[in-house]
Amino acid sequence: MPIVTVKLLEGRSDDQKRQLVEKVTDAVVETTNASPEKVSVIIEEMSPAHFGTGGKRVSDS
């Protein structure tokens, strides 16, 4: 039972998230031979104020 967690900054549309879940599921099925019904994908969204890179928060760019 593969479980995949994807962390993203807020702002993707429902359609984009739907496609992401479908494509991640397809990749896991292809590489692990798991059945699609057994693959779980969790999308965790975060505020740009809660993520930084290069010493700066994304929201400060």
Active site residues: 2
d(CA 21, CA 13): 13
- E strand spans, 1-61: 3-9, 40-46, 52-53, 56-57
